[in-house]
Amino acid sequence: MNKEQNFNTTIIVDKSPAEVFDAINNVKGWWTENLEGSTHNLNDEFEVRFGDVHYSKQKLTEVIPGEKVVWLITDSKLTFVKDQTEWRGTKIVFDIVKRDGKTQVTFTQYGLTPAFECYGGCSNARTDYIQNSLYNLITTGKGNPSPKVS
């Protein structure tokens, strides 16, 4: 797929690829505490919920320590758009590259394109979670994930 047509955002941090990889896999630490399942190994599956607005189930389909993590979204329900399964079948890719003594993380959601109804809201939320929460988790040890809701 052409990367430019899919949503992507990049951060650069002064941490090792291994530290970045570990932070990405700590999904509760930067995305949401409303998570069930496992987020570390190949074929792990996890579900996230944001109230009645967003449900998605992810499967880790590629895990290369210090280099790459890929999630396939196997199920989704976004109640704020007409096609509530818009995300189903999209892939989330974290590419980790050592560059000039720093580590670059490129987040791409393949399939999340401007043609999607949720593109505007979803891309804004994705940017915030990557540029702020994941960045903070990597650089300070504390992200700002969505809090646990009982």
> Which segment of 39-43, 74-78, 146-150 scores lowest on mean pLDDT?
146-150
More confident residue, 102 or 111: 102
Domain ranges of the chain: 3-140
Residue among 76, 52, 65, 56 at smallest CA distance from 25: 65
- Supply the pLDDT for residue 105: 98
Kindly write down the DSSP assignment for every residue of 78-93, as one continuous string: ETTSSSTTTTTT-EEE
pLDDT exceeds 80 at position 149? no
147's CB contacts (< 8 A; 6+ apart) are 33
More confident residue, 65 or 111: 65
What's the CA gap between 111 and 19, in Å, rounded? 28
Model confidence band, residue 1 (pLDDT cutoffs 50, 70, 90)? very low
33's CB contacts (< 8 A; 6+ apart) are 145, 146, 147, 148
Residue among 129, 103, 104, 108 at smallest CA distance from 28: 129
Burial of 12 (0-12, 13-18, 19+ CB in 10 A): middle
Most confident of 103-107, 115-119, 122-126: 103-107
Alpha carbon 134 to chain centroid, angstroms = 9
> Which segment of 65-69, 81-85, 127-131 scores lowest on mean pLDDT?
81-85
Instruction: Identify the CATH number of the domain defined by range 3-140.
Output: 3.30.530.20
